[in-house]
């Protein structure tokens, strides 16, 4: 998949594409239907298949003081979109100047002049332009005027009758329900990052951990999780069982939220390497212990519980 950082001066061989437009944070099944609809149309028309997304997420510009909320920061989002088979990803920088672009100007400048779009696909609720004044009706009308087709994809519902949405995924993760989040997301929620240097306390008590900062990822509820971890990228990679803590490590007076992962039966040095961590199930809230012995005893229980969950695929009663 080719990645372009702007829509101006695109190579001629990528102009005339069929373009799916959206933020696509999470790339959940609803997003995938929008993107794949563009792929079907591109195949029928013999055109390139493209996705246009925006970085950083507009919420970061309009509400910079909100806590981190991303399900898929750009690196993760790009990988998931590439896995769908998309030909090219256009990443429009979402800054103050772009946010003030009138909706009609976005259509003429980006979709018509920049992309030479042959067809545009979006979700039914997609809005764009200054003050969110652009909508599907405008895309349909301007498409007829400028010679590109437009398709709005209706809400896609899961087995419960609720629409897939990134908000539902976030709500599940904040309610200590990673299994529920996975049901909406269509896969386990995953955090990827580079392992940073820790204070080696885990190694000293017999449970060496790999530490990751969460960056722009949403902070799931603090606590201990059964997890699976991998050092490789792609769709068919080995996953190792483990247990992880998300939190501030109150026993040691910590303040910053960190993801600490203990991978079972794994001895290699992980420092500096990229690690993928999937949250499988929630075991218990984070707590402060009276001493190291109490902490070690609890971690041993957490490990046992996580192994049972990961082996049987079932959650034990608390």
What are 149-162's pLDDT values in tens digits?
A: 999 999 999 988 99
Average pLDDT over residues 299-304: 94
Q: Provide the pLDDT for residue 316.
A: 44
The model's pLDDT over 266-288, given as tens digits with 9 standing for 90+, comes to: 888 788 889 999 999 999 999 88
Considering the domain architecture, whether residues 280 and 218 belong to the same structural domain is answered as yes
State whether 194 and 272 are in the same domain: yes
Residues 112 and 238 in one domain: no
CA distance 103 to 220: 35
**Per the domain annotation, does 91 fall within a domain?**
yes
Asked if 133 and 207 sit in the same domain, the reply is no
Q: In sequence order, what DSSP letters do the residues of 72-86 get, joined into one string?
A: S-HHHHHHHHHHTT-
Residue 4 lies in a domain: no
How far is the first Cα of the chain from the last one, in angstroms, to the nearest whole number?
A: 45
If asked whether residues 250 and 145 sit together in one domain, one would say: no
* pLDDT tens profile 81-137: 999 999 999 999 999 999 999 999 999 999 999 999 999 999 999 999 999 999 999
Tell me, yes or no, whether 161 lies in a domain: no
Q: Model confidence at 148, in pLDDT bands (50, 70, 90)?
A: very high
Any domain includes 141: yes
Given the structure tokens 């979700």, which residue do they identify? 123
CA 186 – CA 237 distance, rounded (Å): 18
Mean pLDDT computed over 18-37: 97
User: Tokens at residue 277, please?
Assistant: 């961590």
Residues 149 and 194 in one domain: no
Domain holding 62, by residue range, is 13-153
Does residue 212 fall inside a structural domain? yes
Q: What angle do CA 278, 284, 286 make, to 5 degrees?
A: 95
Domain of 218: which CATH number? 2.40.30.30
CATH of the domain at 24: 3.40.50.620
Is the residue at 111 inside a domain? yes
| Same domain membership, residue 196 and residue 145 | no
Using the 3D structure, point to which of 106, 135, 153 is the last residue of a domain: 153
One domain, residues 95 and 26: yes
> Are 229 and 137 part of one and the same domain?
no
pLDDT (0 to 100) of residue 203: 56
> Same domain, yes or no, for 148 and 50?
yes
How confident is the prediction for the chain on average, in pLDDT? Answer: 91
Confidence of residue 238 (pLDDT cuts 50, 70, 90): confident
Among 102, 127, 153, give the residue marking a domain's end: 153
Task: Tell me what percent of the residues of the chain surpass a pLDDT of 90.
Answer: 74
Residues 146 and 194 in one domain: no
Number of folded domains in the chain?
Answer: 2
The verdict on 143 and 17 lying in the same domain is yes
């Amino acid at each position: 998949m080719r990645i372009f950082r702007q829509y101006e001066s695109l190579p001629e061989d990528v102009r005339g594409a069929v373009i799916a437009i959206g933020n696509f944070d999470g790339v959940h099944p609803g997003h995938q239907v929008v993107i794949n609809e563009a792929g079907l149309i591109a195949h029928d028309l013999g055109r390139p298949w493209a996705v246009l997304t925006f970085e950083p997420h507009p919420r970061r510009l309009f509400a910079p003081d909100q806590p981190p909320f991303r399900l898929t920061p750009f690196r993760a989002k790009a990988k998931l979109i590439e896995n769908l088979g998309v030909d090219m990803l256009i990443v429009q920088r979402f800054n103050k100047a772009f946010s003030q672009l009138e909706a009609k100007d976005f259509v003429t400048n980006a979709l018509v002049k920049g992309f030479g779009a042959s067809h545009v696909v979006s979700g039914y609720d997609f809005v764009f332009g200054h003050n969110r004044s652009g909508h599907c009706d405008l895309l349909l009308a301007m498409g007829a005027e400028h010679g590109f087709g437009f398709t709005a994809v209706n809400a896609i519902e899961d087995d419960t009758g609720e629409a897939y949405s990134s908000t539902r995924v976030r709500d599940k993760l904040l309610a200590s329900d990673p299994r529920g989040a996975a049901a909406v997301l269509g896969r386990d929620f995953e955090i990827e990052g580079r392992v940073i240097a820790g204070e080696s306390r885990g190694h000293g008590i017999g449970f060496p951990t790999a530490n990751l900062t969460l960056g722009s990822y949403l902070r799931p509820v603090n606590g201990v999780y059964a997890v699976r971890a991998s050092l490789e990228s792609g769709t068919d990679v080995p996953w190792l069982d483990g247990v992880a803590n998300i939190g501030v490590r109150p026993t040691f007076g910590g303040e910053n939220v960190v993801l600490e992962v203990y991978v079972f039966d794994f001895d290699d040095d992980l420092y500096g390497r990229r690690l993928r961590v999937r949250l499988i199930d929630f075991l218990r809230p984070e707590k402060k212990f009276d001493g190291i012995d109490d902490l070690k005893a609890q971690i041993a229980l957490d490990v046992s519980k996580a192994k049972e969950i990961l082996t049987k695929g079932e959650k034990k009663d608390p």
